[in-house]
Amino acid sequence: MKLVIIKYNAGNIQSVSFALERLGVDFAITDNAEEIRKADKVIFPGVGEASTTMRYLREHKLDQVITALKQPVLGICLGMQLMCTFSEENNTECLGIFGETVKRFIPQGDLKVPHMGWNDLTLSDSWIDRGVDHQYAYFVHSFYVPVNSHTSATTEYIAPFSAAMHKDNFYAVQFHPEKSAETGERVLKSFLAL
């Protein structure tokens, strides 16, 4: 299996790399469109800010590459948000794979933003190993995707939101599997087994 991590101005490429190494998985990190197209599976990671990242993707024509992929693609954190149509983060037009708007958390009482910490996952019809249901994953984010028809796992912070989504060959998680211990490993293995 040829696995590629899309290289761009994302902050968590190294931690995703370490997680895959722990699983004994061979992979390449590249921004080369042809290598990405030829991969069996693609990971689209992300920690950062939506408008800056979308500008980078467009300048390097990676937006067109990502939306045209036919193999399984996993978006992580900002990667998931950028797969949506629009983000409230700096009013950013995104990739449009999921026809959803990424919303900003509004702090309430003791619930601060960004959301940082461990939350349990509730799986619905999911591509994720059922053993992850009601297990904890690690989240760090200020924006979220509301529950929608593509939601495959939910959690709650201030309001219920999509912890994972799936549409066609596109899979996505809001949490960081690379920082979510055994739960994260099971999620990565679920994607690699597709």
Paired with 140 in beta bridges are 116
Out of 35, 156, 178, 185, the active site residue is 178
> Active site includes 185?
no
Amino acid identity for residue 121 in this structure? L
Closest CA to 30 of 54, 60, 52: 60
Q: CA 67, 23, 180, 28 torsion: positive or negative?
A: negative
Helix axes 13-22, 181-192, angle to 10 degrees: 80
Out of 35, 134, 176, 182, the active site residue is 176
Phi-psi region of 43 (alpha: psi -120 to 50; beta: other; left: phi over 0): beta
- Continuous segment of H or E residues that includes residue 116: strand 115-120
> Active site includes 35?
no
Tokens of 73: 């693609």
Out of 77, 115, 150, 166, the active site residue is 77
> Active site includes 134?
no
How many other CB atoms sit within 10 Å of the CB of residue 166? 20
List, by residue number, the catalytic residues.
Answer: 77, 176, 178
